[in-house]
Structure 1
Amino acid sequence: MTKFSTFALLVSFALFTGCDFIKNTFTYKDKTENFVEALMDKNYDECINLMATDHETAKKTNRDSLKSGLDQFRAVIGSNFGDGNFEYTFMNAEKKRSTVAAENTPPNTTLAHIEFSNGKNIGVFQILFDDTSNKIINIHTLDVKAEKPNMLLFWLFGILPLTVLLFNIYVIRKIKKSNLKRKWIKYLAVIVLNVPAISYAAVDGLSYKLLNFQILFGVGFSLMGYLGSVWTFGIPLGGIYWLWKLNQQKSLRITTKRTPQNVSDSHESTPEIENL
C-alpha cells in the first residue's frame, strides 16, 4: 500500500468516526429528555427501556432495585427543581482519555452533559451513553443549581470583545500597509499579546485572569447553555503598542518634512524606525 493510500485511509476513517460522533450528539438531548419525562411521570418501565441494561456494567442489576433507585432519583430532582416541564440544552459530549485510569470513560461510551431549567433555576445532568445502542448507562445530576440569568446583559457585554477583535484587525491592516520589516512578528504580537483576560459568564458574572493570554485576536466565546455561555477578551497590549509605534513613525515623518534643516538628521533616524 502506498503512502498516499495509507494517508487517504486514515483521513477517511477520521472523517467517518468524527461524523458518527457528531451525529450521536444530536440524539443525546432527545434521549435525556425522553428519559427524564418518563421518570417524572413515574413511568419507570419506560425509563428502563431507555437504559442500556445489556451493557456489561448493568447485567447484574436487579429490575426492582433499579426501579427503587429511579424513584429516589426522581425525588431528588423533584425536591430541587420541581416535577417536570423542563427545558433542555445540550452542553457537550466527550470521551475522556487520561493517564489516570479512573478518569477515563469506559470503552465504547460517551459522557454527555445536558443542561435543564424549570424556568427559574438551572441544573445539569451528567449521562454516560453506550455508543452501540445510544442508550443510557447511568445518569445523575451535578451539584449545580443556579438562577436563570438575564441574557440581555450577556449579549451587551459582547460589544467589548467585538471591539477588541475589530481593533486588532485594524492594527494588522495598518501593519500590512506600513513599511515595517519582519511584519510576521508584529502580526504575532497583535494576535497573541492580549492580556490580562476579562470574562463575563451568563451565570457567574464578571471575572479576570491576570496571566491568561487570549491568542485568537484577543477574543473568546462559548455558548453551551446558560452555564457554558462565556465572553472573554484580553487587553490588546500588542495592538496598542504597534499602533503607537506606527503613529510615532508617522508623526516623525511629518516633522521631518516641515523642518528642511533637519533633513540630514531625519535620513539617519528614519531607517531605525522603519526597521522595527
Structure 2
Amino acid sequence: MRHSRWKTRGRYLFILVIMIPTYYPMFIMLENSLKSTTDYVKDPLGWPSKLMWHNYAAAWSGIHQYFWNTLFVGVIAVLIGIAAAAMSAYVFARYKFPGKEIFFALYLGLLMIPGIMTLIGQFLEIKDLGLLNTWWSLILPYAAGSQALGVFILRTFFATIPEELFEAARVDGATNGYLFLRIAVPLAIPSLGTVSILGILNVWGDYLWPTLALSTANKYTISAGIMQYAGSFSTLVPQGNIFASYVIAAVPVMVLIGVTMRYYLAGILGGSLKL
C-alpha cells in the first residue's frame, strides 16, 4: 500500500514537471497582457505593478474584425471540407471499383507533402481563377487542405460499419443516398467532429496563406490579423494590448479543445486507429 502511494505521487510529480514548460509560457502571456508598456520594459517576466484590464478592451477593438473573419471562413471551409471528405471516404469504404486502393494510396500520399511545397501552385491556381483577395481564396484552399486526412479518418470508420445494417435498409427499399445520409453519416459524427476540429485549428493558426491571398488587411484571419494589429503602432508599441490580443485569440481554441476533447478522441479511436 505504501509503495503504491509513493508510485502514484511520483506519477503526479512527473506530470507536473511536464506541465511546467507547457503552461509557463501561457502564464507569462497572460501576465504580460495585464501590464503597461513601462512594466513590460522594466521586467518582462515580473508581475505587473497595476493590473491593466482595459488592455483587453483595446485589443478586442483592434482585432474583433479578424476574429469574425476567422469564424466565418472556418465554418464555411469546414462544412465544405467535411461534406466532400465524407462522400469520398464513403465511396472508398463501401464501393468496389478498379484501382480503388491505388487512388486511396494517392490520397494518403498527400499527407506526406509539406504544405509549403504546394504554396506557389496553389497561389497561381487561385490567381487564374480570379479569386485573389476574395473570401473564396481562403475557403476553397482550407476546404481542400482537409481532404487527405479527412478521407483517411472517415474511410477507415465507414469500413468498420457492419454490412448487415446496409443490407437490411436495402431490403426496405433504401437508396444509396439514404444509406449514406441516414446510416453512415449519423454513425460517423465523432469522426466528423474530429475532422471539423482539425479544420478549424488549421484556419485559426494559419498566418502565411491569408497574407499571400489577400491584399485587403480587413479580410485577414486572426493569426495574420494580430500581426497586422501589432505592427499598426508607429511609435510606442503598447505591449500589453498585443499580449491581450494573443490571449483573446488563444481562448476560443482552448475552449474548443477542452469542450470537444472527448469527441475528438472518440473520432480518432473510432476511425483512424481501426486499421
TM above 0.5: no
More strand by share: 1
Bigger radius of gyration: 1
More helix by share: 2
TM-score w.r.t. structure 1 length? 0.28
User: Which structure has more RCO (C-alpha within 8 Å, separation ≥ 6)?
Assistant: 2
